[in-house]
Amino acid sequence: MILKDKVILITGGSSGIGYSIAEMAKNKGAKVIIAARNRERLDKAAKELSVFPIACDVGNEKHVTECYNTIMKEFGRIDALINNAGFGYFSMLDELDKKRFEEVFNTNVVGAALMAKYAARIFKKQNYGNIVNISSTAGTKGYAGGSAYTATKFALKGMSECWRAELRQHNVRVIHVNPSEVQTDFFVNSGRGKREFNPTKLIGEDIAHAVISALEMNDRGFITELTVFATNPK
């Protein structure tokens, strides 16, 4: 896909990996829309990047339908959905908090499914589209304390495979991306504290490069799944 003038929606686009993808797509000439819950942070990011902002809680179906109605009114089509919105909750099994467990599932799994549901309806009418699900290496291997977050990423992988089976006949590419640790505000937001910057570990730009490169592949083919590791983290 040639990104110039393509309409690309990025959830969780006001910070971290989503922000980096938005910036790189914009630099490629795409018409970029970023969606996020925090209006103040969303507007700040949109101004910095010169992109179109939509306030949206992906786990709220009313918000999701309003998001797509706005996109179709403003742009008339959508070429790619980057399902990036998500957060982490970490706890040992015997200390799991049911409310927080459900909250992380509502965003990471239900939210991704709702965003893809309404994108798929548009893509099938267009007979064209792209869905990129930003997952995690946590969706490939479990670890102590990761029950909630890891379960959401395993679920996202399963959904990616289902959507791919449903949508290929409509010329829709579903791409699943597994970043390993990326230095963003993710750890702070998950309650695990701030970490010092490590130049040997991944940053948002690295994942953006992987996503944009996958999208730029000629439409006759696509990468079903890719994993990004730091080369030699210290």
Catalytic site positions: 149, 153
User: 109 with 150: CB under 8 angstroms?
Assistant: no
Q: Which of 114, 163, 121, 154 is nearest to 135 (CA)?
A: 154
What pairs with residue 54 in β-bridges?
A: 35
Nearest-angstrom CA–CA distance, 134 and 25: 15
Nearest-angstrom CA–CA distance, 217 and 183: 27
DSSP state of 141: S
User: 13 with 19: CB under 8 angstroms?
Assistant: yes
- Other C-beta atoms lying within 10 Å of the C-beta of residue 72: 14
Q: Which of 73, 72, 42, 77 is nearest to 56 (CA)?
A: 42
Using only the alpha carbons of the chain, give its radius of gyration.
17
Nearest-angstrom CA–CA distance, 229 and 94: 31
Nearest-angstrom CA–CA distance, 83 and 161: 15
Distance, CA of 221 to chain centre: 21
